[in-house]
Each structure stands twice: as structure tokens, then as C-alpha cells.
Amino acid sequence: MINLSVKLNDWTLKNPVIPASGTFGYGLEFSMLYDLNVLGAFSTKGTTWEPRVGNPLPRIAETASGMLNAVGLQNPGAQAVKSLYFPAIRRVFSDKLIVNVGGHDEESYIKAVELLSDDPIVGAVELNISCPNVKAGGMAIGTDAGLAAGLTAAVKKVCRCQLIVKLSPNVTDIAAIARAAEDAGADGISLINTLLGMAVDYRTGRPIIANTYAGHSGGAIKPVALRMVHQVAKAVKIPVIGMGGVETAEDVIEFMSVGATAVMVGSKNLTDPFVCKKIIERLPSVLQELGTDDINTVRGRAL
């Protein structure tokens, strides 16, 4: 019997595969394609206290081995998510989920976390201090260890479940940011969010994305993500969730080898909506190839 279950502190996931925030909506569209209960969990679209319409169009562009996005946390707001989306999710998903929370200042983060974390469907809040596509909050907080620690400590006081802090790769020392979040009370770290990038139309010489800059994700960023997950896993004692260019079961094993407890799948959901299901089905065969029947034995092999 192959064991795929992993533990995020006291929360046991049936497997380590988690669709990443911003690539899976609130799960409802994907529930029409396959049974979401095969997933370890999933992370919701970034949710803020107030509704957001997001950034102007165009805000998505394909790249050679990935994509750029500057959606800008478009969402219906925390109150609508709790009252309308959570009941709908419960009808198609029996486990707990991770709710990704964004904000533009400390108060907006606190209000959203306090409201959303009080619902029993939420197993963890993923504190988004790393989004590069908003003018306030997001990456502006996550690139400063002091600001990251201050927000983490403030939110921790009202969070009624595990608090996972999502980090930006757009920093010089990601381990220092991770340690600051851990010291401030974070129960886990997730990384990496998108790398800040740009696309230009050679015909006009103008940026393709209306915001000019956007978050780059997909297979191209995987080596950077692996390096940063490795650095953070060595620096902290709390669980680490790795992501960045994950497309296959073998990628999941690589991220666990550098210290991740669980792994999020992002952009690939947009080109293959069945990818998470395929990865989960493939993992037992990969473990058999490695001569183990427990996925936890591969964690940290590269540390």
C-alpha cells in the first residue's frame, strides 16, 4: 500500500498535491471536470476584504515556457466568498481548503482573515504578501522582513486556523523573510509566487500587458523555485509548501526532495485542467520506481 499522505502540522492531507491560488478559482469550474476530493487540498483565488475588479486589460500573455499575468486580485470580496462560495464549495469538496488572502493595508488583511478563518471549511489561511500586481500591499510587504513580520504577527492574533505566509521570489534573501515570518508566528511558508517580468510586442515596441510589468510563472521558473524552497527549508522549522513550474509527478518529488512538505500546481492548470488529478494518479508509480511506499521518505533528501 502506497502512502501519499502528508502532514501540515496537525492537518493531514491525503496527498501533497494542491492547486495553487489564482489558477483554480474557487474550485467550482474544476468540479465539473473531476472529483475534487482526490486533491490534498486547494488554495482559493486571492480574496480581499472588499471586492476588486482587478487590473485593466490586457493582463495575461503567453511566454515561451510559461505565462505573464497581472490580474490584480480580482475577486468578489471576503463576505461574498464566505456566504456564497464556501457553501457551494462544500457541496463538491468534503475536505478543508486553503483560503488565500490579500490586502492593501494591515486593517484590510486582518478583517478578511478574521472573517474567513472562522469558517470550518478553512484549514489554513495563505497570507499573500507576495502578489506583484497590486499597487499597495502584496509584494511591497513581502520584500521587507520587518513589514512581513509585523503583518504576520497582527494577522496571527485573529487567525483561527493555521497561518501560511506566501513569499515573493523578488528579494535578495528569501531565507531572511521566511525566518522573520516564522518568528512572528507563521505556522508554515509557501513559495514561490511569480517573478516580476515583462512582454513587448516587437511590432509596436510597446508592453503587451496594460500594467507594463506582470508576474511570470510556468516551467521556466522551476529552477529558481527549487533553489528558494531549498534555502527556506534549511532556514525554518515550520512546514514549507513549494511551487513554481510544477507540471509532473516527478516535479512534486523534486520539490519534496528540497524540503517541501506539500506542493502546489499553478499555471499548468490553465493549459491542462486535469493535471493535478494526473499527478496524483502517477505518484504511486514514481514512488515504486524509487523503491519506497511512503512519499514522506523523499522529503529533504537534498538538504
Query: Which position among 131, 159, 161, 276 bears the catalytic label?
Result: 131
Amino acid identity, residue 213?
A: Y
Distances (CA, A) of 209 to 38, 82, 115, 214, 271: 35, 32, 33, 7, 20
Give the CA dihedral 48, 268, 98, 123, nearest 10 degrees: 180
Determine the pLDDT at residue 137: 63
114-153 tens-digit pLDDT? 999 999 999 999 999 977 666 666 677 888 999 999 999 9
188-199 tens-digit pLDDT? 999 999 999 999
54-82 tens-digit pLDDT? 999 999 999 998 999 999 999 999 999 99
DSSP state of 46: P
Determine the pLDDT at residue 141: 81
Is the previous residue joined to 174 through a cis bond, with omega within 30 degrees of 0? Answer: no
Query: Rounded distance, CA 197 to CA 213, Å?
Result: 6
Asked whether the predicted pLDDT for residue 262 surpasses 70, the reply is: yes
Asked whether the predicted pLDDT for residue 171 surpasses 70, the reply is: yes
- DSSP-assigned states of every residue in 47-88: B-SS-B--SPSP-EEEETTEEEE-----B--HHHIIIIIHHH
CB-CB neighbours of 219 under 10 Å: 18
- Taking Cα atoms as reference points, which of 216, 228, 239, 218 lies closest to residue 169? 228
Give the pLDDT mean for 258-277. Answer: 98
Amino acid identity, residue 154?
A: A
What's the pTM?
0.97
Instruction: Provide the grid cell at 16.
Output: 501533497
- List, in order of start, the domains of the chain with CATH numbers: 6-54+73-195+216-298 (3.20.20.70)
Annotation says 131 is catalytic: yes
Provide φ and ψ at 276, rounded to 5°.
-65, -40
> CB–CB of 125/161 below 8 Å?
yes
**Helix, strand, coil percentages for the chain (3-state, nearest 5):** 35, 20, 45
> CB–CB of 150/186 below 8 Å?
no
205-249 tens-digit pLDDT? 999 999 999 999 999 999 999 999 999 999 999 999 999 999 999
24-59 tens-digit pLDDT? 999 999 999 999 999 999 999 999 999 999 999 999
Q: How confident is the model at residue 260 (pLDDT cuts 50, 70, 90)?
A: very high
Determine the pLDDT at residue 140: 73
